[in-house]
Structures are given as C-alpha cells and as structure tokens.
Amino acid sequence: METKRTTFPSKTLPYALVMPQLLITLVFFIWPTWQAVQSSFLREDPFGLASTFVGLLHYQRLFQDPLYLDAIGRTALFAVAVTVLSMGMGLLLAVAVSRLVRSANAYSTLLLWPYAVAPVVAGILWWFMFNSSSGILPYMLSFFGVDWNHKLNGTQAMILVIVAASWKQVSYNFLFFLAGLQSVPQSLTEAAAIDGAGPVKRFFTIVLPLLSPTTFFLFIVNVNYTMFDTFGTIDATTQGGPNQATNILVYKVYADGFIGLNLGSSSAQSVVLMLFVIGLTFLQFRYVERRVQY
Amino acid sequence: MVENRPFLAFLTHLVLIAGVAVIVFPVYIAVVAATHDATAMSSGMMPLWPGAHLWDNLMLTLTHQTPGLPPFWVMAWNSLWMAVIITAGKIAISILSAFAIVYFKFPFRNLAFWLIFITLMLPVEVRIIPTYSVVANLGMLNSYLGLTVPLIASATATFLFRQFFMTIPDELMEAARVDGAGPMKFFRDILLPLSRTNIAALCVILFIFGWMQYLWPMLVTTDRNYYTLMMGVKRMAAVADADPQWNLIMASVVLAMLPPILIVIFMQRLFVKGLVETEK
C-alpha cells in the first residue's frame, strides 16, 4: 500500500494517531467476533459456569435444522425480490430523469429523500398502510377480491416486508444509476442515433452494457442492505411472523440469541453470516480495483 | 437529448410522476393521519384528505407521554446526541488514522489498515450478543458512551480521507516541512482546511446514519431516559394494536423522520457527494 513520496519521520506519533480507531476496532469489533467464533464451538451448561468444546456440533445441528434451512431460502427470496424491485424502479426513474434537462433537479429532490427514512420507520409507514382495520391498501385490495391480513397470511406478510424494504431503497439505486447514466458519453448515443437506432435499442445495446459496473456494485450493496439493514423493517412490521414466514437470517440471529438465549446456535449463525459478508465484501472490492484501473 | 419525440417526453414525465406518487404516498398518508382527530381515524375508513388537527396532534405528541416511554423531547434529545456524537467521533478518528496511514511509514502500518478494513465485514447485526456482552462488561449499558462508541469505528470514512489525501500534491507537504512545520501543524493548517468539503459531506451522511440507528440502541438501553426516537415510535406503533391512536402515532413518526429528510432536501449537493464518495 502506498504512502506519500516523502513522509514525516516521527516514530511514535503515527501510533498515537491510529490508536483511537484501532482500540475501538479491537474492543468492539475484533474481540466480540472472536467471542462469537469461540462460543460457536462451545456448549455452556445452563448456569453459564462451565463450557465444553463440542466441535462443529452447532453447525451440524444448524444445517440439519429445517427451520434454519427454510430461513436461508426465505432470506434469498427476500434479498432477490427487494434487489430486483428497488433496482428496477431506481433504473427506470433514473433513465427518465436523465432524459430531462430543466426539471431533472426537481424530480431528483422528490425521489432522493426516502434515503433518510430509517428502515424501522419505513416498516411503520407500510404497516399502517396495510393495517387490516383502517389501512388504505387492504380497503383498495378488497375491491379486487383480495382479503388482506398479513398477521395470518405468510405470503402477504412477505409481500409487506418486501414492499417496505424496497420502497426505502429505490432512492439509493436511483442516485447511483443516475450518476452512471450521466457518465455514458453523449457521442456514443448520438452516433447510434445517426446510425438509426431508436431510444429503446440504444438503451439496450449501449447504455445498459455501459452501466454494468454500476449495476454490479448496486447488486452487492442491495443484497447487503436486505440481509442486514432491514432488521428494523422486520421488527416494526411482522417480527418474523406469522409462523416464521418473514423470519430472515439476521432476525433469527437476534431472536434465537437475545430472546431465545440459545448462545451456541446464535453464535454459529453469526459466524455463517460473517462469512457471507466477507464474501460479498471481497466481490465488491475486487470489482472496485478493476474499476480504478479502467 | 438526441432527438425530439413528443410522445417519449410525455412518457418520461408520466413515469416520473407515477414514481414520485408511489414514493410520496406512504408519507402523505402518515401526514394526513397526523392531521385528524381520534374519531376520524377510528371511523373505519382512513381519510385521504388532511384534516384540521395537525397542530393539536403535534402539541399532544410533544406534551403527552406514552406509558412506558419517556417524554418525546427526551427521546429527540437522545437521538440528536447519538447522531452528533457518532458523526463527530467517526470523522475525528477516521481523519486521524487516514493521516497516519498516508503521511507516515511505520511498522505494522499495513496491519493497522487491514484491521480497519475488516470492520466493513462485521456489521453489528451479525455479532449482536458478544458485542452486547463486551459493552455490558465495560459498564457502558444505558449511557451515551455505550450508545455511540461501538458504532464509531469507520472503514468507509477512513478510506474516503485516505483517497482524498493521496490526491493532495506531495509538494504541499514538502514545502510545509521545508518551512519547518511539524506533522500536527501541517495537519491542522493544511490538511484540515483542504478536507472541509469532504468533512461536510461526511457529516450529512453520518448524521443520517446515526439518527436511523435502531437495533443497537434497543439492545443497550433498558433505562427509558436513554431511549431514542426510533425505538420510541416503534414501541408506540406496537402498542397501537390494542388501542390505536393512529393520529398521535403518525404525528410522532412524522416528527421523528423529519430532521434527516430536511437535511437531504436542503443539503442535497453535500448529501449526494457524501453518498457517492463513501461508497467508492
């Protein structure tokens, strides 16, 4: 890793400068992670006095537990649905805004602010809209013969959390797609237009391929968002219910560990999730490296 | 625009108006709910047009206390403090460590960098219990320290400053050294002023980040004097199952989400810069 051509000669000062950051990292990140890894291999007795090494037992149990395997599938479905929905909306709106000149800024402002809505608040807002007693959407849906009750119907509960989580994320995707679209060279679009390509054809043959780095980057960020940041959304709407229907992995870590007090299993789940984030981060940074060279 | 197609222009506006409508609708409904009195809300059909009770509801929210929760202003104060401390803390420790990593050569420099990098891969959501027990052992539950310090380490802010410092011409530092400036003087008089816009952009992003925290404050606070707004509105909504006072709940929700939204709207340029640069 590079530094400046010349550096300051001090021997002790740099340590003092990185110390606050490193201390916090070690105490609140590395140490707890180590604890989680450790306790995923241990079993504590009910009084928390002694613990025995049980090897991979927690992991074995975890991957034989139908509840956990279901949660993996559910999380994948949730992540894909939210990612596709919010990226699709974001791209559509970004393409529309990028065609405008005068009103582009006004539309951008109107589309950007949901980024500042906390996931938990997004959950409350949509929960209120879907509320079966006075909510506006069940009322509208009843005209189509849909009987909405996300407290009983698992599929409807899943739809509720997907909509709430996607709604908040559209503005983020919109912003990055818009930045990507603005960096597509105008000359390419013009050349294609002269060659007779219409707007739709230009979009699919020129704009979309040039956007692929942005798309890939957003894909990773969105998967990360749905897997971890949506905790508040779930907690404010369904709390994983009904009957596990919206219990995604991150909520399960919390529910099993903090409410169910099953430390070994919760730690093993934490470690599995960590490995997943590490994988995602590597993907993201490999790609960033390439983009820098490009 | 390459060519003039009136139909396409019409379609563009149609898509955008529909998009804005979908995005704004949930918040519009919340605001409408906050403008009605309890009878209008409990009549079975949610009104679609604003009523006349916004002021009453806001005043009730600010003065009336929900059982089990502290007064609204206490939670607002806690949220504000939490966001401010996280913002200031993250910026301070990140700019210092980026300075060390870019402007000094020292043993374990790479190790330090990688340790900071690793924090990216360990979101608090995946290590809830061990982090909680560390904070509990340090006696930091129910305090501003416990609420903020564990969230202060920041790889993204460190990277942002590192990236920015690398673009500053070497000659600036060499000239400062020739003129007899020590490292801290160089940092204070040259780097810090140059980093002003980056710091401002980070402030916007980090304040929003701090304000939106939900899981962590929920874990480390049992004393209601440390509850934050995000926890508060969630609990109000959860109680609502039994006795729905939607107008008051939505008034609190609207108040709770207003500060970061106003920041995004009025500091849009800094917000966009901060968001795009921290994610690189």
Residue of B nearest to A291 (CA): B280
Q: Please determine, looking at this structure, whether the domain spanning A57-293 carries the CATH number 1.10.3720.10.
A: yes
Residue of B nearest to A254 (CA): B128
Residues of A in contact with B276 (CB under 8 A): 175-176, 179
How many angstroms separate the CA atoms of B216 and A184, rounded?
Answer: 41
B111 vs A: CB within 8 A: no
Q: Is residue B255 part of a domain?
A: no
Residues of B in contact with A199 (CB under 8 A): 2-3, 5, 8
Instruction: Encode pLDDT of B135-191 as tens digits.
Output: 998 988 889 999 999 889 888 899 889 989 999 998 898 899 889 888 999 999 999
Q: Contact B214/B231 with Cβ under 8 angstroms?
A: yes
Q: Is residue B130 part of a domain?
A: yes
**B250's tokens:** 């939505």
Residues of A in contact with B128 (CB under 8 A): 253-254, 257-258, 266, 270
How many angstroms separate the CA atoms of B274 and A112, rounded?
Answer: 13
Which CATH number goes with the domain that contains B195?
Answer: 1.10.3720.10
Domain chopping of chain A, boundaries: 57-293
Give the ipTM of the model, two decimals please: 0.89
The closest CB to that of B99, out of A11, A17, A266, belongs to: A17
What pLDDT, on a 0 to 100 scale, did the predictor assign at position A293? 35
Per-residue pLDDT of chain A (294 residues; tens, 9 = 90+): 667 777 888 888 999 999 999 999 999 988 988 888 888 888 776 666 677 788 788 888 888 888 889 999 999 999 999 999 999 999 999 999 988 888 888 888 889 999 999 999 999 999 888 887 777 787 788 788 777 887 788 888 999 999 999 999 999 999 999 999 988 888 888 888 888 888 888 888 888 888 888 888 889 889 988 988 899 999 988 888 788 888 898 898 888 887 777 778 888 888 898 888 888 888 877 765 554 333
How far is A113 from chain B, CA to nearest CA, in Å? Answer: 6
Q: Is residue B18 part of a domain?
A: no
pTM of the predicted model as reported, rounded to 2 decimal places: 0.90
What pLDDT, on a 0 to 100 scale, did the predictor assign at position A74? 93
A interface test, pick of B27, B39, B106 with most A CB neighbours within 10 Å = B106
DSSP 3-state of B104: strand
B71 preceded by cis ω (within 30°)?
no
B207 CB-near residues (< 8 Å, 6+ apart)? B83, B84, B87, B260, B263
Looking at the DSSP assignment, which residues form a beta bridge with residue B104? A8
How many angstroms separate the CA atoms of A234 and A225, rounded?
Answer: 13
B136 vs A: CB within 8 A: no
A69, amino acid identity: L
What domain range is B85 assigned to? 80-241+264-278
Looking at the DSSP assignment, which residues form a beta bridge with residue B152? none
Identify which of B94, B102, B127 has the alpha carbon closest to the alpha carbon of residue B199. B94
Number of domains in chain B: 1
Q: Is residue B180 part of a domain?
A: yes
State CA B119 to chain mean position distance: 18
Please judge whether A4 and B173 are an interchain contact, meaning their C-beta atoms are less than 8 angstroms apart.
yes
Q: What are phi and psi of A8, to 5 degrees?
A: -75, 145
The closest CB to that of A111, out of B23, B123, B131, belongs to: B23
Looking at the DSSP assignment, which residues form a beta bridge with residue A43? A52
DSSP 3-state of B101: helix
Q: Is residue B176 part of a domain?
A: yes
How many angstroms separate the CA atoms of A252 and A79, rounded?
Answer: 15
